[in-house]
Amino acid sequence: MTPATAAVEARLRRLFPVEVTVAAEPIGLVSTGALWPEEQAAIIGAVPARRAEFTAGRVAARRTLARLGLPPLALLMAPDRAAIWPEGISGSIAHAAGFAVAVARQGAPLGVDIEEDTGIAPDLWPIICLPDELQRLGKGDTARQVKRIFCAKEAVFKAQAPASRALFGHEILSVTLAEDHFHAQFLTDAGAFRAGQTVRGRIVVQDGLVLTGVAV
């Protein structure tokens, strides 16, 4: 494991309770031969970049399962492209900025996201943020703070059980950022989440990366 990968894993551990296993894998350093045949079938025809991130994500996910004491197995892809985890296991995978990350545990849903700590163009702010979210940001680099809100919402979206998973847009969540955590309030019902429900997550920004985690 490279020092950079070890550093990403250390930040992931700061996002989650101790029972959650974490793993990071550099994208592009593992051959698609590391995939199981069923997984390779899921990305037939995909562009090389997609194949590389998919492979790194599955390798990282199998490492989280191994750390839970489970044997290696293929992680197939659901219709919404989320990984299908073993029964009784909750997990989440994300990839960006040269890394794939994965988290897993026995029990309640998890969500993780990773993004490059760069700004988002102003014309996209209204798509990602509600007016009150932008107002709460105050002074500072708004473009980068919007990216952190995006990252937070992605982690919340992923923290859904398969049986109640719902597609929803950024407009139904209102996120408040703090130094090392965030609160996301649902404005309408979505899947198992109810209007008014608040989900707490953690955030780490370091060395050009934004990492967010939600353990429901």
Three-state SS for 140-195 is CCHHHHHHHHHHHHHHHHHCCCHHHCCCCCHHHEEEEECCCEEEEEECCCECCECC
Mean pLDDT of the region 62-91: 94
Residue ranges per structural domain of the chain: 3-107, 114-215
Nearest residue to 117 via CA among 24, 16, 8 = 8
CATH number of 3-107, picked from 3.90.470.20, 3.40.50.12370, 3.40.309.10, 3.90.79.10: 3.90.470.20
pLDDT for residue 1? 80
pLDDT digits (tens, 9 = 90+) for 19-41: 999 999 999 877 878 899 999 99
pLDDT for the residue 28: 87
pLDDT digit string, tens, across residues 180-194: 999 999 999 999 999
pLDDT attached to residue 164: 85
Report whether pLDDT(138) > 80.
Answer: no
**Minimum mean pLDDT among 20-29, 136-145, 148-157: which range?**
136-145
Mean confidence (pLDDT) of the chain: 94
Q: Residue range 169-179: average pLDDT?
A: 93
pTM for the model = 0.93
Helix (H/G/I), strand (E/B), else coil: 48: helix
Distance between CA atoms of residues 30 and 147, nearest Å: 28
Q: Provide the pLDDT for residue 93.
A: 97
pLDDT at 165: 86
As a whole number, mean pLDDT of residues 152-158 equals 97
- Predicted local confidence at residue 120, as pLDDT: 96
Give pLDDT, residue 143.
96
pLDDT score of 216: 87
State the pLDDT at residue 121: 96
